[in-house]
Amino acid sequence: MNGVARLHLGAVALLAFVVIAGTAAASSPSLRLMILGLNNLPAGYAQDYSHSISKADVMKEQGFVMPGYVTGWEAQYTRSEGFNTAIIDSSVNRYGTSAQARASIFDSSKRAAKQKGMKRISLGASFGQDARAYTFDTKQGGVAVKVYIVAWRYGSLKASVLLAGLASLGATAEQVKQLALKQHARMVRYG
């Protein structure tokens, strides 16, 4: 994969982090178990990272931390075929109360609505509470790339899954729905 394509899709993941995923921070083993692992993904993905992000890192990246935020975990995976790349980003954040997690979902939704080209979509699946799904188009090396983001709440947990890439690499609304359902099942199991 060329460096420009990797950098561009990295910027897409950062946008999703700021717009939908919200804040992610300090270590929590149970949250680490709730995110998607390689065994939950289609074949061909490699892990870029899996880590906690401190409140200080969130403040540095976003300029704010949502009230009630306690801790979080995030992982990113990449699949490359020639110059084409697909990214999956999975995160879970814990808030002090369900109401605070809900407020974070609605804040993210308001910020997403203000992003140029961002469209809210229905995935036709029910999981968690306050679920939201979005899509937008971008370019990777002159090639149209589709980005899907799903965010939802499960009690005081806020979760998100981002999928970006070409449909030929599996970047479809159906695929992001299946990934979100897998992550939600992990949240129920380990939460």
Tell me the three-class secondary structure of the chain, residue by residue.
Answer: CCHHHHHHHHHHHHHHHHHHHCCCCCCCHHHHHHCCCHHHCCCCCEEEEEECCCHHHHHHHHCCCCCCEEEEEEEEEEEEECCEEEEEEEEEEEECCHHHHHHHHHHHHHHHHCCCCCEEECCCCCCCEEEEEEEEEEEECCEEEEEEEEEEEECCEEEEEEEEECHHHCCCHHHHHHHHHHHHHHHHHHC
The number of angstroms, rounded, from the C-alpha of 121 to the middle of its chain's C-alpha atoms is 15
pLDDT score of 12 = 52
Give residue-wise pLDDT tens across range 37-85: 999 999 999 999 999 977 777 788 889 999 999 889 999 999 987 767 8
Q: Where residue 29 falls among pLDDT bands split at 50, 70, 90? A: low
Q: Could you say which architecture CATH assigns to the domain 3-190?
A: 3-Layer(aba) Sandwich (3.40)
| pLDDT tens track for 122-153 | 998 888 999 999 999 998 778 889 999 999 99
Q: Residue 39: phi, psi to the nearest 5?
A: -70, -10
Alpha-carbon span 29 to 92, nearest angstrom:
11
Give residue limits of the domains in the chain.
3-190
